[in-house]
Amino acid sequence: MKRVYLFLVLLAALAVGAGCSSDPDTPLGSSFLPDSLIQSRPGAVDQDTIFIGFTDTTWVTNRFYSQLLTLPNKMTLGRADGFESTMLVRADFSTAGDDTAKTVSSALLTLPTDPDIQVGTLGALFYELLDPLTNTDTLTSLNLAPNAIPDSNGVNVDRTMRTFPRTYSLPDSLVQDWIRGNQPHNGIAIVLNDTTTTVELTFSGQGNANAAFLQVFFTDATNTPYNITASGTFTTDLSTSANLRMSDGDTRRIWMPVDLSAFNENVLLHQAKLVITVVPNSASEIGGFAELYAPKDSVIGSSGILTGTLVSSQALDTPNGIIEFPIRNIVGQFLADSTTNFGLAIRYLSEGSSARRIDFYSSAAVDTLRPSMRFTFSYPPTFPPDF
């Protein structure tokens, strides 16, 4: 209210001055004349920094991704750049129909690689998922059956994932139960069984032209291909960090509190920016963009903290490692209505498209590195005592 009052007074005074025909012409931007009506002095321009509070944090939103969220077409298995990837597939038995009355003689899960020019092999184990897999899942952990799925002989659980041949047998009785509905089919997790490898293979998901499928053969000499209805990759970051980590695939976001209690409401805000500093050599890729948004909630794990008002997006490959997000408009909103202030959150732009990470210094770092809000503002003009 005080700021509005000052501007109204100034406008009223200018209006009175404009109505006086005897007032000499004054070039715009020059100082007021000694005998002018206002005789005011413009407010000083100043800068200030408010450091982010010590409750800034990183939280995991999910670890499930595919290359295209709306049409998953790729799955990844193996290790690369410090990430370990697990493949997830779920067949669609809703069209089983007459197959429910047949007896399964064999079942082969076909997993084409994408592209086929890849080389190398990976050891893996197949596990049943205890929770249904869908393409919209945001998993933070995998709930797996205690024992691995053996091959068709019911003995060997060790699998060799490869470019060719690309079929992997499943126990007849297990597939029989899935088709008849005697046992729920929640999906299969294909888990890396080689902790030393740095190899990664990419397989075709259900959206690929050469898609994965489950071929089931019956004792009456018939067979049915069952499509994969859900597929994707569950990615785990094998490294840890004491800093603020933004990650994708193993999806982590950053939340920061915004305390404006020390901000003078009577100043005119010209510029505001959130400044964060990249930890050197922490990025797993060159380039990329980060997106800053104002969430609808500050409670970690709530649905409201995942969505909100977009503030701005900034490139991550700045030469000095300092990222600056303009926040003038959102700070103005927070000042106008403090009930909308749930802090600020940072995520990868195009989140869910790959496995990547980058670290920023947290509020525990020294002042030259810790996150801060930096403001440029001016004070109201001063008027004569008898104005």
Whole-number pLDDT of residue 136: 78
Cα 97-100-101 angle, rounded to 5 deg:
115
Q: Give, as one character, the DSSP assignment of residue 162.
A: -
Res 39: pLDDT: 52
Query: What is d(CA 351, CA 247) in angstroms, rounded to the nearest whole number?
Result: 9
Closest residue by Cα to residue 199 from 124, 122, 123, 285: 122
Written as one letter, the residue type at 212 is A
Give the integer Cα–Cα distance in Å for 33 and 24: 9
How many contiguous H segments (helices) and E segments (strands) does the chain have? 3, 22
The confidence score (pLDDT) of residue 68 equals 43
In sequence order, what are the residues at sequence separation of 6 or more whose Cβ sits closer than 8 angstroms to the Cβ of residue 88? 64, 75, 129, 133, 187, 188, 189, 190, 230, 231, 232, 233, 234
Other residues' Cβ atoms within 10 Å of the Cβ of residue 387 = 11
SS3 call for 177: helix
| Rg of the chain on CA atoms, in Å | 31
Which among 31, 37, 86, 48 is positioned nearest to 231, based on CA atoms? 86
Given this model, what pLDDT does residue 268 score? 87
**Which amino acid, one-letter code, is at 169?**
S
For CATH 2.60.120.970, list the domain ranges present in the chain.
Answer: 46-61+249-378
What does pLDDT average to in each consecutive run of 10 residues of the chain (387 residues)? Answer: 34 38 39 46 82 96 66 82 93 95 97 87 97 86 96 92 93 97 97 90 85 96 95 91 94 96 86 97 93 97 95 95 97 95 96 91 97 91 65
CB 50 within 8 A of CB 367: no
What is residue 380's DSSP assignment? Answer: P
Residues 6+ apart with CB under 8 A from 241: 279, 282, 359
DSSP 24: P
Taking a C-beta distance cutoff of 8 angstroms, is the pair 186, 128 a contact?
A: yes
Q: Which pTM does this prediction carry?
A: 0.81
CA 49 – CA 79 distance, rounded (Å) = 42
Q: What is the third-level CATH fold of 46-61+249-378?
A: Jelly Rolls (2.60.120)
Is residue 64 a contact partner of residue 230, using CB atoms and an 8 Å limit?
no
